[in-house]
């Protein structure tokens, strides 16, 4: 929860690495990924499925009908860090392109998996 009940706040998810359901995501995004050859999908096509808030919502079928849904349930959920691969590390960095935010622009409120190529301007 980002705020008390009935006070609108949100967490913006900018990108995700698609792991499962690639054919369905591609269909929702109207992207041809040669559905018979999932293992041969180019990295650029794979990134294009979910590399922005609108794209990932479209690919995952997330719309306003899910407003207020419990993120610890079975329908839509965020996995814990226990689900990371052994060599993955979650890091916190300042957000980017928010110079208007004054002193808050330096707050470490941007979370990503170090080196993940699916995050725009990720860290190596």
Same domain, 51 and 100: no
Domain holding 67: CATH number? 3.10.300.10
Q: What is the pLDDT of residues 63-72, one digit of tens each?
A: 999 887 877 7
Q: What is the pLDDT of residues 67-93, one digit of tens each?
A: 878 777 787 777 776 777 788 888 888
Q: pLDDT class for 40, splitting at 50, 70, 90?
A: low
Query: Cα separation of 60 and 46, whole Å?
Result: 13
Q: pLDDT class for 124, splitting at 50, 70, 90?
A: very low
Same domain, 16 and 28: yes
Instruction: Give the mean pLDDT of the chain.
Output: 79
Query: What is the extent of the structural domain holding 54?
Result: 1-78
What pLDDT does 61 receive?
92
Same domain, 38 and 2: yes
Nearest in space to 11 (alpha carbons), one of 78, 101, 105, 91: 78
Nearest in space to 22 (alpha carbons), one of 8, 44, 41: 41
Same domain, 27 and 58: yes
Query: Cα separation of 116 and 56, whole Å?
Result: 16
Same domain, 71 and 107: no
Domains in the chain: how many in total? 2
Q: Which residues pair with 90 in a beta bridge?
A: 113
Same domain, 22 and 40: yes
């Amino acid at each position: 929860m980002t705020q008390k009940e009935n006070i609108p706040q949100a967490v913006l998810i900018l990108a995700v690495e698609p792991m499962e359901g690639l054919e369905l995501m591609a269909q929702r995004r109207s992207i041809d990924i040669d559905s018979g050859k999932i293992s041969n999908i180019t990295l650029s096509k794979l990134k294009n499925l979910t590399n922005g808030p609108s794209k990932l919502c479209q690919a995952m079928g997330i719309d306003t009908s899910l407003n207020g849904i419990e993120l610890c349930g079975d329908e839509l959920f965020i996995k814990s860090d226990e689900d990371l691969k052994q060599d993955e590390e979650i890091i916190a960095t300042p957000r980017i392109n928010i110079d208007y935010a004054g002193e808050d622009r330096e707050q470490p409120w941007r979370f990503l998996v170090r080196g993940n190529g699916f995050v725009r301007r990720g860290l190596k």
